[in-house]
Amino acid sequence: MSYPTQFRYTKDHEWIDAKGDLATIGITDYAQHELGDVVFVELPAVGAALTTGKTFGSVESVKAVSEIYAPANGRVVEANSDLQNKPETINSDPHGTGWLIKIKLSDPGELNPLMDAMAYEAYIEEKKKEASA
Amino acid sequence: MNDRIKKATRHTNQNEGLIFEKSSSGKRAFDLAPLDVPPVSVTRELAEHHRGNGVEDFPEVSEIEVIRHFTRLSTWNYAIDLGMYPLGSCTMKYNPRVNEHVARLVGIATEHPCQPQELSQGCLKILSLLEKCLLEITGMDAITLQPAAGAQGELTGLLLIRGYHQKNGNPRKKVLIPDSAHGTNPATAVIAGYEVENIKSNADGQVDIAMLREKVNGGVAALMLTNPSTLGIYEQQISEIASILHDKGALLYMDGANMNALAGITRPGDLGVDVMHLNLHKTFSTPHGGGGPGAGPVAMKKTLEPFLPVPVLVEKADGKLALDYNRRESIGKVKAFGSNFGVLVRALAYILAYGPSVRQATEDAVTNANYIRKRLEGIYDLPYTRPSMHEVVFSDAIQKKQGVNTMDIAKRLIDYGFHPYTTAFPLIVPGALMIEPTESESKEECDFFIDAMRAIADEVEKTPEAVKTAPHTTRIRRLDEVAAARKPVLRWKPESEHSGAAG
Amino acid sequence: MRYLPKSPAERQEMLAAIGVKSVEELFTSIPEQYRLKQPLNLPGPLSEAEVIDYFQARAAENSVGYSSFLGAGVYSHLRSVVTDALLQRGEFLTSYTPYQAEIAQGTLQAIFEFQTLMCQLTGQDVANASMYDGSTATTEAVLMAERVTGRSRVLVARSVHPEYRDVLRTYAKNSGLTVEEIPFTASGTVDAAALKGSLRDDVCAVVVQSPNFFGAIESPGPLAEVAHSAGALLVVAVTEALSLAVVKPPAEADIVALEGQSFGLPPSYGGPFVGVVASREKFVRQMPGRLAGQTTDQAGHRGFVLTLATREQHIRREKATSNICTNQALCALAATIHLCLLGKEGIREMAEQNLAKARFALAELEKIPGVKRTFAAPFFNEFTVEFPRSVKMVNTELLKKKIVGPYVLGSAYAELTKHALVCVTETTTRAQIDNLAAGLRSALEQTL
């Protein structure tokens, strides 16, 4: 799967897609692949505050739980309620309908230091090499 | 399948439904003697808002149906009585049957924990002798038999530590835990009100002494250490570790899950350990029973004795035993009614059967583990090469090259008639194969196991698909755990309530 | 040694294969100064017969030959020999936790049946595969309520078993919970007015027991309403699970913490017993302990697996819903087999015998001058009576007649100095009740 060029990426394998001060956040294809079949997602309520670097929810597979870390400061305006009944969407379409939350960014500039698609792809190549070493 | 493998295989039995599906109105499996007092009417004795029928959908079957139902279910299980469990850190050893016999004796099984102490001297003597034996084995000064399992023992130990620090004016905030630790360690530390700080193991899988020195300060209450570690490797610098901790007023807690490598050979109390728990359902042979019950006694140095849970077993002036509840500094009770006494009886029976020759069991356990290690070295990757004690940890690094991982190998082992070894633990070994044979395995059984593991390694090279899609010979194969977690069905419901999905 | 399957020759063979001359060489990673030079000073080794003799001798020093009227959270009920015959099958007794579902379907299906029976008894949606016992189950229920509500104050009725409250306090001290007690009324049940008075929006759980420690049956319905009005959860503890065969299940509770010892487990001087946490479906991800779930395999056959394991310590570690690992699986199996044997009719009949015998005993005791029933609340098989002299003294006299008298309530409730908690089950014979009455009558006459 290719990594959308308009997204920004974190070291914890989240993607963020900003349009002005509105951003959508999800986990990357690499993350869903590592996790395996998603069975449950825990998301914050609308209105909850996000603090950069702090966890705002989790994604669970049968054998593991992945915390999700806020890539930027903001406030939740929408959580993907479809994931309640169909958490597998994260596996099948992690960059699209498997989005987790939409937030209002405190400062869109905070996204600048995040990796772009090329940097992220290089990053996960490194990770794959480390794992098979 | 390799014909050389002579391991006994199981009969798979017919499908057996749920007991509720065999139920029909009017069948009975149990009769009571007639009432010898005047009967009462439930509707007269209990007002309507107190009356209910929670047992409306209870099964109605006959005695033979109960016998057959559970007998059939039992044939679907693997068990120690059938063969080896190579599970690391579980110590799946033989559960002696005399233990079951004595635990069921009239006068042992029938005693009420609240009955007068003068009528319980037999029980109290059992507790007293077990305490003495476990103190001798661990080299400690005081002990509580109250905790119901290892995890509860860990909690008790940490509460004792907290009591000690509190008395010295500062309960302290942190507990250090190696990254190789069993999951109960960090889970327990949190319940005891401590923050967990993980400490990385060094390249030999041991505690990194330099890092420990850095991390231990006046805010650290204790280090929780498993010895031998979950890699099966003896923590050589344990006394140095104890010194570092003691220098800063911190304590050393030892997770005694791996006592099967130490009993009769060395004593944790001599090594600088301040407090530790034992798993009676591991080292001391009490049965796992499909997941429990166990018991997790906690032994400690004198400094922690004032904080013992109540009641404390004491000997009175007249030589009688009594339970002392008058302990000002006690951490309180961790469990009602004293202890898992029936489990303690079994452990004492085990110790009495061995006596001082418990050392022989430890020697055999370590011999078996090293024998298996020697004969599988080179076939499976050995990430840590220090000497193994009672367990050995390999990794799937070699087999990964064929796309086969430890889970697959474990499942294939089932086809060879064994229960899998411990997979995916300890966390510091990616793709771990953690193997502990215990002293209960004969050379023959060890050889069967080695042959099976070699055969599987061979299959990985030649026919990896067979391994990746294992097991092939069980009644049920590769259950859908994802569906079970996404839409949990955790009970049977009568037809009228069925959503129609189950069947 | 009979448990060790090696001949001396085989030991030598294996050591040779390893490449060492003696087994001592396998312990060189232990510094020399710490390796024991002497055998441990332990009794034994004993032959099988000697082991049995030892425990027979201990058994003879206990209460064999005495009748007993003790309950107080541990109950003597009939057990079928069928239970032990099945329990002692090696495939149940000596099997491991069912993490490898393909070769543990026996254990897993039995757990699923256990969970079902517990849901039926408690009127809840979900029940776990067991906790250590009722006391720790109650504590775990409170910790669960804390997780669900995010609050940290607990109101627990004084009529909850004293040892259960002790255990709760031990755990609560270190998890930032404050525990306050709610008094009981003259009728023996929890003081709802006092409860209302103490309730604020910082309470995570209201904990009551039914039947409570005095034997009195509480009313979970109204209590749940009171708790919910402040956003708190109602936890109902049940120590005498047999009561649920005739008493209404506490379906209005948010969490039920049950002790299952009454179902096929002997008193065994305090354990092992079996605790259960049962609750609503919406709280399932906050539940502690193992859960067995139904699913299908590749071929579409029904099977069972441990599920929702991400709650547990082996995955979640610091963030687990509990630190519990080993539970009481074999005890839960005993309870399952026992309940299947009793069945719907058998359990009701057993419960009705308890009701009848307890009422008969109360009537006989009330005939004795000075003996009074204390609490008006309805009861199942335990009730509280007041004696005109100290219960301890009375019990001393009763012991001479080989009767273990009722529980001395004064040892846990300072204001109940002359009060006794009498338990009568289906195992108590009429003759034993008559003897108790006669013994009590004579013990009381002595002071007059």
Q: Are strands B195-199 and B174-178 parallel, antiparallel or unpaired?
A: parallel
B366: contact with C, CB 8 A cutoff: yes
| Gap between the Cα atoms of C252 and C235, Å rounded | 10
Instruction: Give the number of beta-carbon pairs within 8 Å between A and B.
Output: 16
Give me the pLDDT at residue B503, please: 36
Q: Take residue B397 and report the two structure tokens written for it.
A: 């690094």
Q: Take residue C22 and report the two structure tokens written for it.
A: 């003696």
| Gap between the Cα atoms of B364 and C86, Å rounded | 32
Question: Does the pLDDT value for residue C39 go beyond 60?
Answer: yes
Backbone phi, then psi, for B339, in 5-degree steps?
Answer: -175, 170
3-state SS assignment for residue B174: strand
Residue with tokens 């499909």: B290
Distance of CA B499 to the CA centre of its chain: 38
Q: Give one word for C383, left, alpha or beta, with left for phi > 0 and alpha for psi -120 to 50.
A: beta
Q: What is the pLDDT of residues A95-131, one digit of tens each?
A: 999 999 999 999 999 999 999 999 999 999 998 887 6
Helices C329-366 and C430-445, axial angle in degrees (round to 10): 50
| Full-model pTM | 0.95
Cβ–Cβ < 8 Å for B413, B468: no
Q: Quote the DSSP letter at residue B11.
A: P
A20 residue type, one letter? G
Q: Above pLDDT 90, what percent of chain C?
A: 93
The burial of A131, by beta-carbon neighbours within 10 Å (0-12 exposed, 13-18 middle, 19 or more buried), is given as exposed
What is the interface pTM, i.e. ipTM, of the complex?
Answer: 0.97
Q: Which residues of C touch A65 (CB under 8 A)?
A: 310, 315-316, 319
Q: Which residues of C touch A40 (CB under 8 A)?
A: 285, 310
Q: What is the pLDDT of residues C51-87, one digit of tens each?
A: 999 999 999 999 999 999 999 999 999 999 999 999 9
Sign of the dihedral through C-alpha B413, B419, B424, B429:
negative
Distance of CA C183 to the CA centre of its chain: 24
B59: contact with C, CB 8 A cutoff: yes
Pick from B430, B481, B485: CB nearest A40: B485
3-state SS assignment for residue B291: coil
Q: Which residues of A touch B485 (CB under 8 A)?
A: 39-40, 60, 62
Sign of the dihedral through C-alpha B71, B421, B295, C208:
negative
| Gap between the Cα atoms of C203 and C154, Å rounded | 6
Q: Which chains touch A (3 or more CB pairs under 8 A)?
A: B, C
| Gap between the Cα atoms of C410 and C412, Å rounded | 5
| Gap between the Cα atoms of C290 and C307, Å rounded | 8
Q: Take residue B306 and report the two structure tokens written for it.
A: 């004032």
More confident residue, C320 or B419: B419
The burial of B8, by beta-carbon neighbours within 10 Å (0-12 exposed, 13-18 middle, 19 or more buried), is given as exposed
B439: contact with C, CB 8 A cutoff: yes
Q: Which residue of A has its CA nearest to C307?
A: A62
| Cα torsion through C11, C17, C20, C25, rounded to 10 | -60
Residues B482, A39: C-beta atoms closer than 8 Å: yes
B10 residue type, one letter? R
E strands along B316-464, which residues? 321-324, 392-395, 422-423, 432-435
Rounded mean pLDDT of chain C?
A: 96
Mean pLDDT value of segment C34-55: 97
A129: contact with C, CB 8 A cutoff: no
CB contact set of C372 (below 8 Å; sequence gap of 6+): C366, C385, C386
Q: Take residue C269 and report the two structure tokens written for it.
A: 């001087």
Give the pLDDT of chain B (503 residues) as one tens digit per residue: 555 555 655 555 667 899 999 999 999 999 999 999 999 999 999 999 999 988 999 999 999 999 999 999 999 999 999 999 999 989 999 999 999 999 999 999 999 999 999 999 999 999 999 999 999 999 999 999 999 999 999 999 999 999 999 999 998 999 999 988 888 899 899 889 999 999 998 988 899 999 999 999 999 999 999 999 989 999 999 999 999 999 999 999 999 999 999 999 999 999 999 999 999 999 999 999 999 999 999 999 999 999 999 999 999 999 999 999 999 999 999 999 999 999 999 999 999 999 999 999 999 999 999 999 999 999 999 999 999 999 999 999 999 999 999 999 999 999 999 999 999 678 889 899 999 999 999 999 999 999 999 999 999 999 999 999 999 988 888 899 999 999 999 999 987 655 444 43
Cβ–Cβ < 8 Å for B354, B394: no
Give me the pLDDT at residue B53, please: 85
Backbone phi, then psi, for C373, in 5-degree steps?
Answer: -70, 135
Q: Quote the DSSP letter at residue C132.
A: S
Q: Which chains touch C (3 or more CB pairs under 8 A)?
A: A, B
* C-alpha triplet B323, B328, B331: angle, nearest 5°: 80
Give me the pLDDT at residue B6, please: 57
Give me the pLDDT at residue B501, please: 41
| Gap between the Cα atoms of C437 and C364, Å rounded | 6
3-state SS assignment for residue C385: strand
Which residue(s) pair with B277 in the sheet?
A: B255, B298
Give me the pLDDT at residue C303, please: 95
Question: Does the pLDDT value for residue C119 go beyond 60?
Answer: yes
Give me the pLDDT at residue B276, please: 98
Question: Does the pLDDT value for residue C423 go beyond 50?
Answer: yes
Mean pLDDT value of segment C288-310: 93
Give me the pLDDT at residue C227, please: 97
| Gap between the Cα atoms of B186 and B191, Å rounded | 9
CB contact set of C93 (below 8 Å; sequence gap of 6+): B79, B81, B95, B100, B287, B289, C87, C330
Give me the pLDDT at residue C237, please: 98
Neighbours of C415 (CB within 10 A): 7
The burial of B157, by beta-carbon neighbours within 10 Å (0-12 exposed, 13-18 middle, 19 or more buried), is given as buried
Residues B115, C63: C-beta atoms closer than 8 Å: yes
Residues C219, B67: C-beta atoms closer than 8 Å: no
DSSP string, B66-106: HHHHHHHHHTTB--TTTS---BTTT------HHHHHHHTST
3-state SS assignment for residue B53: coil
| Gap between the Cα atoms of B236 and B233, Å rounded | 9
Q: Above pLDDT 70, what percent of chain A?
A: 98
SS (HEC) of C166-235: HHHHHHHHCCCCEEEEECECCCCCECHHHHHHHCCCCEEEEEEECCCCCCECCCHHHHHHHHHHCCCEEE
- Say how many Å lie between the first and final Cα of chain C, rounded: 64
Residue with tokens 């807690």: B253
Q: How confident is the model at residue C298 (pLDDT cuts 50, 70, 90)?
A: confident
Q: Which residues of B touch C39 (CB under 8 A)?
A: 264, 356-357, 359
Q: Above pLDDT 70, what percent of chain C?
A: 100
Q: Which residue of C has its CA nearest to B97?
A: C88
Q: Which residue of A has its CA nearest to C99?
A: A63
Q: Are strands C255-259 and C275-279 parallel, antiparallel or unpaired?
A: antiparallel
Instruction: Report the half-sphere exposure of B383 (CA within 13 A, side-chain side).
Output: 22
Cβ–Cβ < 8 Å for C339, B16: no
Residue with tokens 């195992």: C427
| Gap between the Cα atoms of B263 and B120, Å rounded | 30
Instruction: Give the CA distances from residue B130 to residues B134, B268, B296, B346, C355, in Å, rounded to whole numbers and listed in that order.
Output: 6, 18, 13, 10, 40
DSSP string, B217-235: STTEEEEEEESS-TTS---
Residue with tokens 């400061």: A73
Q: Which residue of C has its CA nearest to A42?
A: C285
| Cα torsion through C9, C11, C14, C20, rounded to 10 | -110
- Say how many Å lie between the first and final Cα of chain A, rounded: 23
